[in-house]
Chain A
C-alpha cells in the first residue's frame, strides 16, 4: 500500500493508500500483541509462534521481486485488493467463531480489524466498479476469487511437492559426494601479494 502511495499522482489516491497502509500497520501490531500475549500466557517463546512472511511468497500474494502494484494496473489492483480483502474478512470471521468463547479479548480486537477490512474492500471495489466496464469488473472479480482459491490449494500442497522433490535432491547429493571426497584442495592461509594473486574477473 505504501509502495502504491509512492507511485500514483492523484493526491486523493495517495492519501487513500497511506491511510490503508496505516491500517495494515495497525493490524500487524494488533496481531503482534495478541501473539505476545499468547506466548506469555502459555510460557512460549516468540520463536515458537511466529508469523513467517515466506508463506506469502509461497501463496503468491507477493511476487518475489515485485510489489503487487507494479504487476497490475491500478484498475486491476483495486479489484485484487477488494476481492482479497473480502476473502480475508471471511477467513477472519471463521477464525473469530473459533476463538470468541475462550479468548474474548482477542476476539474484540480482531473485530476492529474486521471493520477496517470491510471498509477497505468497499472502497477498493467502489473504485474498481467506477473504473472498469460492468462485464470486465464481474469477470476480473471472479478471476481473483478463483486465483485466491488456487493459491491456497498450492500452498497447502507444498509439503506434498517436497515429498517428490527431496529424494531427487538427496540422490544428487550422493552423486556429488564421491568426486568431492577425493577432491581435497589444499588451502593456503597466507598471501604475500593479495592483488597480484587475485583474479578480479573470476568468480572462483
Chain B
C-alpha cells in the first residue's frame, strides 16, 4: 500500500510516495514544467507516479496534504480584514486567489486520479515540518522540534516534542504577523531580490558588510519577544511590495543597483544587520524551546532553517548540544512530512529515514531518449573513474547525472556540476560564465569526510549537517594555500562531506587524491533561475547553454554531440 504526501500552492510543489518499506520517491513539479519554484498543483509529478507505480484507488492507502487548506487561507485573511480600508489591495488579491487556492485540493486531485474522500488526509503546516525533521533524528525523545518559516496556517514558529510512546506535544507557537521569515523576505524584497529565491543572496551579501544598522533593526523586530513592528511592513496590505514607506525612511531608496560600489556596500551593511537580527531571534527561539521542553538537542525546520550562515553562527554560541537541519527543511520537504503523517495515522509508528537521495533513479526517466543521437560515449562505466580524474585534473568542468535524485534545493553530487577546486580559472568560469551567478555568491566545496579536518573547523554540534550542505564551516590555513577561490569573504565555506563508500563521487574523490586533488567544487546542475535538470533532454539543452562538454552517467562518460 502506498502513502502519498503532497505540498503545493505556496512554494515549490512536490510529492512524496512511499510504501513504508523499500519504495520512496520524491519529485517536484518544477522538474516537469521547467518553471523554477512552480507552485501549481503537482499534476505532472502525480501523473508520473501513477504511471510508474500503477497507482489506483486500491493500492493507495492515503493521500495527505501537508496543511489545513482553509485554515491557511483564512488566518491571513482574518488578520488583514480587521482593517478593511487600509488592507483592501491585499484582501482583493486574496479573494481573487480563492479559487486557485489549496481549498480546491481535492477537486484538483480528482481531475488526475479518482480517489474516495475517505483516503484524503490533511496534516497541519508546522506539524508536517516537524514530522519531516523527525526522520533525521536518531532518538526522537532527545530532541525539541522547532520550525520557523514565513507563515503557515497563521503560525510562524512552533516547538514540538515527540516522546518514545509517540506522543506529540506542541509546547508553543508564535502567530502571524510575528514572523522572522517574513521580516527576512521583506529585506530581500527591499534589496531588489525576488522573495523565495533571493534570500540566499542576502545571506551571501551579509558577509561583505557590518551590522551598522543593528539599533534600527531592533526597532523593526523585537528579538526578545519575537514580535514584529508591522508599521515597517506591507505584506499584510500590499501583494506587490512587502515593506512600507517607514522602512524606506530608515534605509533610503530600495532596489538600488548593486553594480555600483557605494550601493553594494550600503546594501551589504543592511543585509549584515538583518542577518544579525535573524541570529539573535533564532537564538532566543532556541532558548525558549530548550526551556519549555527541557531538551538540549534541536531539529530545526521551516524555510528559515535554509540560512546556513545562521546555523554556523549559532553553533559558536554553544546554546545547544546538537542542531540538525534536514536536507529540505522548507515547504517542499513537507510532502515527506505529510506522508509520514498518514503513515503514522495508519500504523502508529513513523517512517524510516529517507536519506539524502529519495528522488527517482535517472534510468527511470529516460526511456524515450535516444542517447546515441545526442551524446558520444568516451568511456565505459569501468573506466569512468580514470577518465573523470583525467578530465578534472586537466581543468575541465564536468556534469554528473547519476543514480538517484536529491531532495534539493542543494545538489549533493548526483546531479551536479563539478570541477577541481584548486583550479582558479575553472572555478571562476563555473561561477560567472556557466552558472551565471553573482560574483558575491560563493561556490561550495565537496570532499571526503576523512579529509575534512585537514582543511576546515566546525563545532561538533552541527557537524552532521555537513552531509547535506546544511551549514557553513571555517577555513583553516591549509585550505588557503591551494583552495582560496572557494573561501567566502568571511573565511567560511559551505562544505559538503561524503562518507558513502559506494557512491561514485566518493570513489572519484579517492582517486583524485592520488593526484593531490582533495576538494571538488560542487554546484547544482542548472543555470541560475532554472530548476535542476531532470531528464536527458534537460541535460542536453543545459550543457549546450552552458557550453559544457562532458557528463558522467551510470553507463559511463559521455561527450555532447552537435545536432
Q: Per a CB cutoff under 8 Å, which of A40, A177, A202 touches B122?
A: A202
Specify which of B69, B535, B541 is in contact with A21 (CB 8 Å cutoff): B541
- Contact among B169, B255, B541 with A47 in the assembled complex (CB-CB below 8 Å): B255
Any chain A CB within 8 A of the CB of B21?
no
Partner pick for A189 among B71, B123, B173, B545, CB 8 A cutoff: B173
Check A203 against B71 for contact (C-beta < 8 Å). Answer: yes
Q: Smallest CB-CB separation from B172: which chain A residue?
A: A189
A203 close to B69 (CB less than 8 A): yes
Cα separation A193 to B70 with both chains bound (whole Å) = 22
Within the assembled complex, what's the spacing in Å between the Cα atoms of A191 and B161?
Answer: 11
- Pairwise interchain contact A201-B541, C-beta atoms closer than 8 A: no
Check A11–B373 contact: CB distance below 8 A. Answer: yes
CB distance from A61 to the nearest CB of B (A): 14
> Considering the chains assembled together, what is the distance between the CA atoms of A22 and B547 in angstroms?
12
Chain A residue with Cβ nearest B253 = A45
Whether, in the assembled complex, B250 has its beta carbon less than 8 Å from a beta carbon of chain A, the answer is no
Given contacts A40-B257, A203-B70, contact A2 B541 (CB under 8 A): yes
Closest CB in chain A relative to B292 CB, distance in Å: 9
A192 vs B292: C-alpha distance when bound (angstroms)? 13
Q: How many residues of A contact B (CB 8 A)?
A: 48
Check B127 against A194 for contact (C-beta < 8 Å): yes
B73-109 vs A, Cβ < 8 Å mask (1 yes, 0 no): 0000010011010001001100110000001010000
B95: chain A residues at CB < 8 Å are: 169, 172-173
For B259, give its contact among A18, A25, A40, A195 (CB under 8 Å).
Answer: A40
CB of B121 within 8 Å of the partner chain:
yes
Report the bound CA distance from A11 to B127 in whole Å.
48
User: Which residues on A sit within 8 Å (CB–CB) of B69?
Assistant: 203
- In the complex, the chain B residue whose C-beta lies closest to that of A67 is B33
Q: How far is the CB of A54 from chain B (nearest CB, A)?
A: 12
Q: Are B171 and A190 in contact (CB under 8 A)?
A: yes
Other-chain contact of A181, B82, B257, B260, B544 (Cβ < 8 Å): B82
* Cβ of B175 under 8 Å from chain A: yes
Q: Which residue of B lies closest to A181 (CB)?
A: B82
**In contact, A195 and B175 (Cβ under 8 angstroms):** no
Q: Is B481 an interface residue (CB 8 A)?
A: no
A5, A176, A191: the one within 8 Å of B169 (CB): A191
Q: Does B256 sit within 8 A of A, measured CB to CB?
A: yes
List residues of chain A with CB within 8 A of the CB of B172: 189-190
Complex CA distance for A44 and B121, rounded to whole angstroms: 48
CB contacts (< 8 Å) of B259 on chain A: these are 40
B121 and A173 form a contact (CB under 8 A): no
B115 at the interface (CB under 8 A from A): no
A166 at the interface (CB under 8 A from B): yes
Given known A39-B257, A169-B92, contact A195–B122 (CB-CB < 8 A): no
Q: Is B537 an interface residue (CB 8 A)?
A: yes
Is residue A94 within 8 Å, beta carbon to beta carbon, of the partner chain?
A: no
A25 to B436, CA, bound (A): 14
Interface 1/0 per residue, B104-143 and A, CB below 8 Å? 0100000000000100111110010000000000000000
The contact of B535 among A6, A166, A177, A204, by CB within 8 Å, is A6
Q: How far is the CB of A192 from the nearest CB of chain B, in Å?
A: 6
Asked if B71 and A204 make an inter-chain contact with CB atoms under 8 angstroms apart, the answer reads yes
**Known A11-B373, A200-B122, A202-B68: A43·B257 in contact at CB below 8 Å:** yes
Contacts of A39 in B (CB 8 A): 257
Which residues in B have their C-beta under 8 angstroms from that of A201? 117, 120-122
In contact, A173 and B91 (Cβ under 8 angstroms): yes
Can you spell out 24 A-B residue pairs with CB atoms less than 8 angstroms apart? Answer: A2-B34, A2-B537, A6-B537, A11-B370, A18-B540, A18-B541, A19-B563, A39-B257, A44-B257, A48-B255, A166-B92, A173-B91, A180-B82, A189-B172, A189-B173, A189-B174, A190-B172, A191-B170, A194-B170, A198-B123, A200-B121, A203-B70, A203-B103, A204-B71
A189-B170, A190-B171, A195-B167 provided; 5 other pairs, C-beta below 8 A?
A: A5-B537, A173-B91, A173-B92, A187-B154, A189-B172
> Would you list the 4 A-B pairs with minimal beta carbon distance, nearest first?
A45-B255, A191-B170, A194-B168, A45-B192
